[in-house]
Amino acid sequence: EIVLTQSPGTLSLSPGERATLTCRASQSVTSSFLAWYQQKPGQAPRLLIFGASTRATGIPARFSGSGSGTDFTLTISRLEPEDFAVYYCQQYGGSPYTFGQGTKVEIK
Amino acid sequence: QLVESGGGLVQPGRSLRLSCAASGFTFDDYAMHWVRQVPGKGLEWVCSISWNSGNRHYADSVRGRFTISRDNAKGSLHLQMDSLRADDTALYYCAKDNDWGSLGYHFDCWGHGTLVTVSS
């Protein structure tokens, strides 16, 4: 089983700042089959990025993903008020299709 | 577009059947999945089914106890949960695959979830 470790656990930033979230896999993720999701309180997750770097439909350009192998990054270039949420990475290169434990981006 | 139902309080060892009604997309073009989340905790993939029901995959934690199925004519997805345990307590999400026609195992549309509580 691939274990995904996200860091930091909590990121305290102000609107307009840049957010950099990291996801590290315990073994290489096949073909960069890595996705990022955003979840707000009381809501279902929302797909942001798949294939490590491809934005999902309707996702603003301020969200970008990068990485390969075992190290992946989600960057939010300038935080908007609606971006404060929990972010999860997920690998789908091999079963079981595991998620990281999440990074909370909170308002400083 | 995805609406789950069927959750509730159930005793350990008993069964429960969840349903998910899909709308707004061509249901039989996409694989479907169940993902669960203990309130306040992280996400766990539970199981998946291909567009034609030809492939079904399960997490080790539920294999042999849960059965995923779909009815393309009705646009519905189901999860039969047997021999329920306390650690099955979670919010269960129905999710649509992002990939057309294949099992991509990443999810671009989610329901609001239905809560399953297993307790005596």
Residue A29: pLDDT band by 50, 70, 90 thresholds?
very high
Shortest CA distance from B96: residue in chain A = A47
Contacts of B66 in chain A (CB under 8 A): none
pLDDT, chain B, mean: 96
Residue A31: pLDDT band by 50, 70, 90 thresholds?
confident
Contacts of B44 in chain A (CB under 8 A): 99
Question: For residues A37 and B95, is the Cβ–Cβ distance under 8 A?
Answer: no
Give me the amino acid identity at A98: T
Give me the amino acid identity at A35: A
Question: For residues A35 and A50, is the Cβ–Cβ distance under 8 A?
Answer: yes
Percentage of the residues of chain B whose pLDDT score is greater than 70: 100
Contacts of A4 in chain B (CB under 8 A): none
d(CA A97, CA B85): 22
- B115 touches A: beta carbon within 8 Å: no
Shortest CA distance from A95: residue in chain B = B59
pLDDT tens for residues B26-77?
999 999 999 999 998 999 999 999 999 999 999 999 999 999 999 999 999 9
d(CA B107, CA B55): 17
Per-residue pLDDT at B103:
87
CA distance A93 to chain B (A): 8
